[in-house]
Amino acid sequence: MQIPQYEVGKTTIGQLVDIVADQFGDSKALKYHKLGIDYSYSQFRDVCNQCAKAFMALGIQKGEHIAIWANNVPEWVLTQFSTAKMGAVLVTVNTNYRSFELEYLMKQSDSTTLIMIGGVREADEYLKVVYDVCPELSTSEPGKLHSEKLPLLKNVIFIGKEKHPGMFTWDDVMAMSSKVSDAELKARQDSMDPDDVINMQYTSGTTGFPKGVQLTHTNLIGNANSTAACMKLSCKDTMCIPVPFFHCFGCVLGTLNCLVSASAMAPVVAFKASDVLETIEASQCTAVHGVPTMFIAELEELKNKKYDTSHLRTGIMAGAPCPIEVMKQVVSVMGASEMTIVYGQTESSPGITQTRGEDSLELRVTTVGRALPNVEVKIVDPATDQEVPRGVQGELCSRGYHVMKGYYKNPEATAKAVDADKWLHTGDLAVMDENGYCKITGRIKDMIIRGGENIYPREIEEFFYTHPKIKDVQVIGVPSKKYGEEVVAYIQVKPGEKTTEDELLAYCKGKISFHKIPAFFFFVDEYPTTASGKIQKYKLRESATKALKREEDAQVKTA
């Protein structure tokens, strides 16, 4: 037996941790070679149990929302699986978020607890944001916060040894675990249903504000199981995970992918090509995940220094269109002969289609694969919702165990995304061939994908509307060889006002994520419009592509 035996749809993530520990207790579970962490699945279960009991001792109830704002530190993995054991819903926070976005997410998600590190680029950047959003924290007792902006937030837990006003340290909370018995934890874990929501991830919407995608145990286990099966993962595999945990790519196709197959997790705390390659070598990784820009950086690093990647076999390249030449080099240079591509979105937990290791290189570089096991895919005419013949472009729709429970507190948006027959409408244009393999050909939704990050222009536009000098703004994406796309803002200034690119960049800093800050600004008096007055963004895109000399970038072939 090389993979765990359990039943999808009848198992919770907490139960799965126990099942894998029982069946593969001596197999490696979590390895951070630089941090000296090396847990077997038996040890991993024990540490997760301690964390789960600690959260219960803190008074966190089943169904309560716990937000985590950190990069790929060990405590993130432990929080993911311990909340799944004690029934709290894990709300993942993008590490690029700043005050404007954090306040919105914490408020909209009704989170009662925030687990956080000090910062990513600067040691105290997150601390500054939290004390700015919740000034009351600096004078409150840990666990007794009364915030005007975030009235439901009570606990802030700091991952680190330093003491900060109003916050527990991680060790403070873990020490509380002795107050809860094993029997109490088991009773809590047994009270959960596989169809309970256990994870909430925020994805931007065309309305301009992020929506909380509610995902269940069944959504997540089913998707991890299907994608792991396509890669033939087993207890013999070790996966390098450099993609961020706050995305489904990291915490479903990464950590959970390993759990469902009893593979070992070998995360990288923060992406750096040399750290990824060092981890692959030190842990003899057989799988590695990444967005195309990560693989490009790793291939560049391999030109400068030799690393042993001979154990690599498979992995997932996803998050952005995958350049054909990059895939060919990952196979030939890094040796990942069975590297796969996954297509999906957060609302589908996230995978919908995947190439298989045995597929020809041609299929793996020109398509995003075929439907995952037990997943339905169809292509419909966006105007009529009628299925179109094979080879005809239309909107890709999907149905199955993987479709989200809905957007949190947003039934209207849920109804738009998932129709009465349970089909998820992705908003992406695709063509399906006679064998079911799909090629993504465009997007109905006006989305920009920069280095694997989904960026919705309306969200950035809404932010710029708060600037006192701006009359109107239109945000579009231009092709980029490095990132896939980059953000461009077309600005109309109010009569009598003047502003500059530097002033607008300063206005963005610390308020919106760096990847959403426009790389280029154009100041204009008017926009191209249709006869009815609708702004023609495609003309703005063409104009920017030409002005920035990005025509060649637009020709880069992707699957």
- Let me know if residue 498 belongs to a domain: yes
Q: Map residue 177 onto helix, strand or coil.
A: helix
Smallest CA-to-CA distance from 155 within 168, 172, 164, 170 is with 168
Let me know if residue 193 belongs to a domain.
Answer: yes
Domain count, the chain: 2
How big is the chain by its Cα radius of gyration, in Å?
Answer: 23
CATH (domain of 172): 3.40.50.12780
Residue ranges of the chain whose pLDDT lies below 50: 205-207, 532
Q: How far is residue 154 CA from its own chain's centroid?
A: 26
DSSP string, 180-244: S-HHHHHHHHHT--TTSEEEEEEE--TTSS-EEEEEEHHHHHHHHHHHHHHTT--TT-EEEE-S-
State the pLDDT at residue 205.
46
pLDDT single digits (tens) 285-331:
999 999 988 998 999 999 999 999 999 999 999 987 777 888 989 99
Q: Token digits for 522?
A: 């154009």
- Span 272-297, pLDDT tens digits: 999 999 999 999 999 999 998 899 89
| Chain centroid offset of residue 348 CA | 12
CA–CA gap between residue 79 and residue 1 (Å, rounded)? 29
Q: What does 398-441 look like in DSSP terms, one character per residue?
A: EEETTS-SEETT-HHHHHHHB-TT--EEEEEEEEE-TTS-EEEE
Quick check: is 170 in a domain? yes
Tell me if 142 is assigned to some domain. yes
Q: Domain boundary at 201, 216, 231, which?
A: 216
Task: Indicate the pairing of strand 37-40 with strand 197-203.
Answer: unpaired
372 lies in some domain:
no
d(CA 388, CA 193): 38
Q: Sign of the C-alpha dihedral, residues 35, 39, 45, 47?
A: negative
The answer to whether residue 306 sits within a structural domain is: no
CA gap 26, 33 in Å, rounded: 18
Structural domain includes residue 235: no
In this structure, the chain runs to a length of: 559
Structural domain harbouring 489: 450-555
Where does a domain end: 191, 216, 241?
A: 216
Neighbouring C-beta atoms of residue 303, cutoff 10 Å: 8
Cβ–Cβ under 8 Å, residues 78 and 51: yes
Which pTM was predicted? 0.85
From 157, 184, 216, give the residue that closes a domain.
216
179 token code pair: 């107050």
489: domain CATH number is: 3.30.300.30
CA-CA-CA-CA dihedral for 221, 226, 231, 233, to nearest 10? 40
412: its two tokens: 């209207």
Tell me whether residue 54 is in a domain: yes
Query: Which residue is it, tokens 């959504």?
Result: 219
